Amino acid sequence: MTRYYLTSLTVEGFRGINNEGTPLVLKFRPDAVNSVFAQNGTGKSSLYEALHYAIRKSVPTLAPMQVGESPDRYVNNLFHSAGTATVSLELTPDDGSGLPIEVTVTRDAAGNRAVTATPDVSDPEELLASLDQDFTLLDHRTFHEFIETSALERGRSFAPLLGLSKYSQLRRGLQSAADTRAYNSDFDVQVIDQQIGQTQRVETDALAAFTATYAYLTGLAVTDSAALSTYAGEVVAALESIPLLTSFAHGKRLSELDFAALKAHVLDAEGGALRAELEAQTKLQASLLAIAPNSEEVESHITALEGWCEAYDTQLKLTRGRLTKQLNETAKALIDTGAWSDPLVCPLCGSTLESSIADRIQATLANYDAVRAAYIVLTEQVSAGPLLASLRRLETAPLALDGEENLSASLQSRSDLGTLGPEDVANAADRWRLLEKRRATALAAASSELERLARAIPPSLVEVTTRITSAEQALGNLTSIWHSRTNREGLSARLRLYSEWKTFMDNVAAMAAQAEADLSRQVLTSLESDYQQMFAAIMSVKDIVPSLDRGGSGEHLALHLSEFHGIQDVSARALLSESFKNALAISVFLTAAVRHGRAARFVVLDDATSSFDSGNQYQLMEHIRGSLQAPHRADGLQFILLSHDVALEKYFDKNQTERDWNHQKLHGWPPISPVTAARQDADRLRTQAEGFISTGQTDVAGGLIRQYLEFILLQIITKLGIPVPIDIAIKDHARMVDACLRAIVECVDLHRRAGDLILDPAQVTALSVRHVPALVGNWISHYGTAGAASFSPPALLGVLDDIDQIRSCFQHEVPPGSGSWRYYKSLTARG
Amino acid sequence: MTSFSFDNDLAFEDNLKAMIAALAETSPSMAGILSRHVDVLLNEADEPQRRRNRDLFNKTVRAELDALLAGGGK
């Protein structure tokens, strides 16, 4: 896999960096630690955010803002006339396999993102996505979250850094797919269960009707529900035994009988309108019997439904409407981000709460969940229960009056739409009772009419007609039983197959979880000694040993101290100070980052050491340079450090002349004026100061001269190895010049009196008699007072000259007469 | 639970294939369905998206199971 160094970053019109027409360009070296220093407000954060936007498509500072605050408005620089942001990354392959490629991300004034690249990149967005690894962009928040987050979240978020993100995603995806509630819902398990129950009820009703009809036709009882084909044959035999029907029924199966022809034959045998009426009344009676409900069961179901309605209504009264739910969900989202730090303050009104806002929100949302659960129970019971089924049958029969609404259809519809209420159930129950009463009345009337017709028609043929109609009814009952059984078998087979899948997925999820946990543990173990050594190197401790532990098959990643001043296995979070926690997180992240090679062979650290003291900062920098940075380490990474820390800036200054260090500093006044980057060298400071002096801007020049003086004095101290007071190394910024100059002068005087000073006498005299007194008298003693503001341009030029002369007092010409000057090796050796 | 281990020397895709092959030894048809649709579950996602992925996965799996039942399964 080709890996890339970040060798250049170009930014225009993004966040604080206006630079309209003159983009800010930063060059980075793959073979050096790259440091960028910027004082507060000079665009450092905008640089980090530009990289974040290019690679991760978001701006971390703006992400927590509410939509109402219009965060999108602040991505592009507000003062750029075109309103367009441009971020270009130059990426250089680490294996020399090709020329650097450039990927450019633009964001127009309407917020549209577009990505282009040099022609040899087929999919620039995909290339940027490949750079998006957990270690690519690191800031103090990343490390803070790593320490302070829960063990579960740490385990999940750390997986990508171990190169195991896909395994983690697989594990979580499989667990999600094996979730029982989701399975029940997505595979309609309860619905199918209810459908199976419904087919059972239909079969029971049809079997009961068939049993009665069979007994009437044959005088026998149904004793074996599995022998229905036999019983069908007995029904045919019963008809065949009637001489008038023998020729029609002989040799046929029940389903093959032509009942219309049988009835027509009987009619022909005797004729008359009474017979047609007899048949009509017989049919009516049969149909009314067929839809007869099990009233006791339905009434019992209505009572149960009233209970579920009451439960639903009770839950509903505990809530306060949809807007309150949305408000609580929004507040929960805010709390979940971690942005709301005080759990006892209401994020809406700011009032103080007696209990945690998270607990309150959880309790409120739980009420809404309970309403939904109660509603689901109610609708499932309505849909699957006997009330709706019976009402549907009664409404299908001609029992409803004109203008009466079809309540079974509206009940189902309201259930499906989620608008079902207790009044709907009550109305349906009332309608069912009304229709059942009408059905019973109609049945009684039909039976009475049949008796009347039976008396008016010759008995023998009345009986024949009744038997034909009953046989036809028996065929309908058997058909209904057969359909019910077939449907139930199909539904049961489906449910068994679904259940087999669920069992399979449970097994897969458990297997993948265990395998992923084992693999994570294996990788963590391989990293352990490296991050422990790095932590010890940064913090200079041997009796505090951190350890990451992935126990069991869960995703939890416990962070503890296997050794803490002689005590074993204690909490890192509870015992470590902020800087130790930060160092631990950095050690873990950088160790893992170096170990697992990805497309991005660079790490950007933004103010990652803000909680460190100076000593630890330097040790971290030295560890990065000596142990992690390419090419000191063959598989090392390219590091890009962004900092506004003044003490660290001194360290960067000190290193900038080294071959393995590339230091730059940002200048400018964002967000209106351009930001520029320049190598922090003495000549640039001097040139800039002269420029401001020549235009009369002595106050601006004064600051640059001070920086120039600091730089030269620190260079002399560093090059000649002059011992300095400890306070120079611990940020005594205000007295830096005074302390450095005193250290130099006293050390020169010491060696002069010892007789081993390497400086020639003219240099010693110039230093002690002319330039140091002039510098102190004309500059240092006034700089900290208001008097510094009144320096004239010639006086400032004189100060610059004194600084240069002081430097030359510590240099010698190599070779003599060449015009090339070099620092002495020390105050006692020429070098 | 079927016993299985990922091999750190293999790419993720190869480990996934090995896992499904192990499952296929006892449940070939189920393993086949998982193999055809597991990609849906591998998309990097936040929790809401993961639920949507799960819904899509279950929907497609259910369709395959129904086809299997109807005699048209792969």
Query: What element of type H or E holds B54?
Result: helix B47-69
* Cis preceding-peptide flag for A100 (omega within 30 of 0): no
pLDDT of residue A734: 55
Cβ-Cβ contacts under 8 Å, A186 against chain B: 54-55, 58-59, 62
Coil, strand or helix at A262:
helix
pLDDT of residue A219: 92
Q: Give the strand order in the sheet containing A570-571.
A: A544-549, A558-564, A570-571
B55 vs B62: CA distance, rounded Å: 10
Coil, strand or helix at A721:
coil
pLDDT of residue A95: 85
Q: Give the strand order in the sheet containing A33-37.
A: A137-139, A602-606, A638-643, A33-37, A661-668, A675-679
Strand A33-37 with A638-643, pairing: parallel
Helices A459-539, B28-37: axis angle to 10 degrees equals: 60
This complex has an ipTM of 0.96
Secondary structure letter of residue A42 according to DSSP: S
A810 vs A827: CA distance, rounded Å: 8
A440 vs A434: CA distance, rounded Å: 10
Q: Calculate what percentage of chain A has a pLDDT beyond 90.
A: 42
From A84-88, A322-326, A395-399, A462-466, the region with the lowest mean pLDDT: A395-399
Given pLDDT bands bounded at 50, 70 and 90, which one contains residue A68? confident
More confident residue, A732 or A114: A114
Q: Do B1 and A512 touch (CB under 8 A)?
A: no
Average pLDDT over residues A278-293: 87
- Residues facing residue A157 across a β-bridge: none
A31 vs A631: CA distance, rounded Å: 6
Coil, strand or helix at A22:
coil
pLDDT of residue A618: 87
Average pLDDT over residues A179-205: 93
Q: Are A624 and A608 in contact (CB under 8 A)?
A: no
Contacting A with CB below 8 Å, chain B residues are: 1-6, 8, 12, 15-16, 19, 23, 27, 30-31, 33-34, 38, 40-45, 50-51, 53-55, 57-59, 61-62, 65-66, 68-69
* Closest-CA distance of chain A to residue B74, Å: 15
Cβ-Cβ contacts under 8 Å, A514 against chain B: 1, 4
pLDDT of residue A787: 54
Q: Are A9 and A49 in contact (CB under 8 A)?
A: no
- Residues facing residue A638 across a β-bridge: A602
| Torsion sign (Cα): A319, A323, A325, A331 | negative
Predicted confidence (pLDDT) at residue A678 exceeds the cutoff of 70? no
Given pLDDT bands bounded at 50, 70 and 90, which one contains residue A729? low
Given pLDDT bands bounded at 50, 70 and 90, which one contains residue A351? confident
More confident residue, A301 or A649: A301
Query: In degrees to the nearest 10, what's the CA dihedral of A641, A647, A653, A654?
Result: -110
Q: What is the mean pLDDT of chain A?
A: 87
Average pLDDT over residues B7-28: 92
Average pLDDT over residues A383-394: 89
Residues A488-516 have pLDDT tens digits of 999 999 999 999 999 999 999 999 999 99
pLDDT of residue A602: 94
Distance of CA A98 to the CA centre of its chain: 36
Predicted confidence (pLDDT) at residue A104 exceeds the cutoff of 80? yes
More confident residue, A831 or A582: A582
Q: How many residues does chain B have?
A: 74
Q: What would the two tokens of residue A258 be?
A: 């032509």
Given pLDDT bands bounded at 50, 70 and 90, which one contains residue B44? low
Burial of A112 (0-12, 13-18, 19+ CB in 10 A): exposed
Q: How many residues does chain A have?
A: 831
pLDDT of residue B3: 81
pLDDT of residue A640: 95
Helices A357-384, A189-218: axis angle to 10 degrees equals: 20
